[in-house]
Amino acid sequence: MTITESDAAATTTAPSVTTAVQPQGLYELITTGDHTTLGRLYVLASAVFILGAGVFGVLSGAEKLDTTSIDLFGGVTSAWQTFAAYRIGLLLCGVLPLFIGLATAVVPLQVGSPAIAFPRAAAAAFWVWLLGVGLLIGGFAADGGLGEAPGLTAGTHQDGVALTLLAIGVLVVALLLAAVCVATTVLTLRAPGLTLRRVPVFSWSMLVASSVWFLTLPVLLGRILLAYVDYTHAQTLYGAENALYNQIRWSFGQPMVYAYAIPALGIVSEIIPVAARARQRSYDVVLGAIALFGLLSVGSFASAPNVQDKFVFLAVGYAIALPVLALFGAWADTLRQGKPASSGPLGALGLALLGALVLFGGVLAGVMYVFVPFDLRNTSAVDGQMAMVLLASATVGFAGVVYWSSKLTGRAVPEGLARLAVLPLVGGAFLAGLGDFAAGFYDQPAGLVTSAVKDGAEIMNAIGLVGYGLFALGALVAVGAVVRTFLPSGSYAPANPWQGHTLEWASSSPPPVGNFRGPLPVVRSERPLLDAAENGGAV
């Protein structure tokens, strides 16, 4: 039985979406609504910003080598701004746009759509995001950032701080707009027969992630708005210069930090079956586990004060490990059934699988964080957990770039470069998180450290610094690999270099205008191309 047979009942009209053209010059590049081009731009820019955030992480980590004084920077304000730049940059300029970029490029292909929903809105989202990045850099460059560290005396950074707050708001709005386009594509522009239960896991994870972001990031936007208005007027409470970080602190802690990692689970679930050359086992369990992970990561309630003692906070901290365990079970079963070939996406598999392990380490760190006897509240353990989750997410994001590079630019990332990046990225993400997390057991406070801590914490900080250094090195390799695929040299990759299972691999590399040549078939399973291959190509 074929899975792509013609279905008379499906014979209807095409959806009314705009199919953009490939840009040929600067003007066309700026005005294009082509999802592949926008995805490329997101991926390139966010990869560079992840590298930049890694460098800020190194600087911030180096400052913690001696906790008794500020050595590396001119003063505590500069050290604080570096710390803030690392966090905000990694999240809003790096990890989230990397996932959004991959989704913008890949999701329409995966669901068999000729274009992304609202292509002009998608284009506007990218350029507004880039504007936000520019404003953010300007805010920090103007001695602004997030003012002063909590507990310190307010300084005089009026314009720079206001600009930084404005930039964060702009970044959040742009990312939400981009997420609307992606989620709407998954919900409304699927190919005939591609029900939600058959949607490729990455598209599903982006649908879940976008839905969670719609429920959480607007709360962050509201707090930023409140802080901005207060900061530019009376600075009574929320806008006091040394209280600004407290308005957004919750968005870097659990459970909110998991919301940013949802697409990573989808990417791993895409790569493993293809690398293993096997059908994904327990497909429904995978979809359900990602949905449950998303549900548990709705962390906007954590913006309320004193929430860490509440039952729901503790329960979510423990429960979030369950869907991750279920996913690892399904992945392990798939790998056990399969036979990975040397011609498969082994570099991407290494990045994805080991990155997922570090992500699981971050989840376990979260479980330990809420375990009351460990008493890790307000210690650097929360920083370590955030680093582990976000850096692991970035690593898996790079795995996605390697895996789908032929669809992004037409040229595959050299397998050697991908494999070269595995150890520094994965090891760096793990050590960076481990250092800060373990230092929490020595009562090292979260954020900036300006006073002596217990013996042993500085050794953990040194481990963290090595981790940040390794991660920055890995990010450099990854950026090099991404840039290389953008260079107009060498031939295009074949349409389906990894023998992929889902619809994006039915398109050429790079995809043509409209993504697919001719009308799409009716999809009968979640693995249409694998089914076709198993039927001897007779479809």
Binding residues for another protein restricted to 118-177, rule: CB under 8 A: 118, 121, 176
Residue 6 near another protein by CB under 8 A: yes
**Token output for 453:** 């801590």
Provide the 10 A C-beta neighbour count for residue 177. 18
Which one among 35, 190, 249, 277 touches another protein, defined by CB under 8 A?
A: 190
C-beta separation of 35 from 114 below 8 A: no
- The size of the interface with another protein (CB under 8 A), counted in residues, is 74
Phi-psi region of 500 (alpha: psi -120 to 50; beta: other; left: phi over 0): beta
Compute the distance between CA of residue 214 and CA of residue 202 in angstroms, rounded to an integer. Answer: 18
Nearest to another protein of 184, 337 (CB atom):
184
Q: Is the peptide bond before 510 cis (omega within 30 degrees of 0)?
A: yes
Nearest to another protein of 15, 416 (CB atom):
15
CB of 509 to another protein, least distance (A): 9
Nearest to another protein of 59, 243 (CB atom):
243
Residue with tokens 């809003």: 92
CB of 473 to another protein, least distance (A): 37
Segment interacting with another protein (CB under 8 A) among 208-216, 271-279, 312-320, 460-468:
208-216
Encoded amino acid at 178, one letter: A
C-beta separation of 89 from 52 below 8 A: yes
Residue 457 near another protein by CB under 8 A: no
- Interface residues for another protein in 472-531 (CB under 8 A)? 494-496, 503, 505-508, 516-522, 529
CB of 404 to another protein, least distance (A): 16
Nearest to another protein of 39, 239 (CB atom):
239
Nearest to another protein of 218, 480 (CB atom):
218
CB of 121 to another protein, least distance (A): 8
Element (H, E) at 267: helix 262-276
Nearest to another protein of 114, 433 (CB atom):
114
Nearest to another protein of 161, 189 (CB atom):
189
Compute the distance between CA of residue 166 and CA of residue 31 in angstroms, rounded to an integer. Answer: 25
**Token output for 427:** 């090891």
Sorted by sequence, the CB contacts under 8 Å of residue 319 that are 6+ apart come out as 296
Residue 244 near another protein by CB under 8 A: no
Residue 285 near another protein by CB under 8 A: no
Sorted by sequence, the CB contacts under 8 Å of residue 25 that are 6+ apart come out as none
Buried b (16+ CB within 10 A) or exposed e, 221-242: bebbeebbebbeeebeebbbbb
Which one among 25, 74, 373, 537 touches another protein, defined by CB under 8 A?
A: 537
Nearest to another protein of 214, 318 (CB atom):
214
Segment interacting with another protein (CB under 8 A) among 38-46, 234-242, 393-401, 416-424:
234-242
Residue 238 near another protein by CB under 8 A: yes
CB of 347 to another protein, least distance (A): 24
CB of 16 to another protein, least distance (A): 8
C-beta separation of 411 from 405 below 8 A: yes
Segment interacting with another protein (CB under 8 A) among 68-76, 144-152, 183-191, 263-271:
183-191
Provide the CB-side half-sphere exposure for 444 (13 A, CA).
Answer: 30
Nearest residue to 175 via CA among 95, 257, 111, 253: 95
Provide the 10 A C-beta neighbour count for residue 494. 12
- Interface residues for another protein in 35-64 (CB under 8 A)? none
Nearest to another protein of 230, 241 (CB atom):
230
Residue 236 near another protein by CB under 8 A: yes
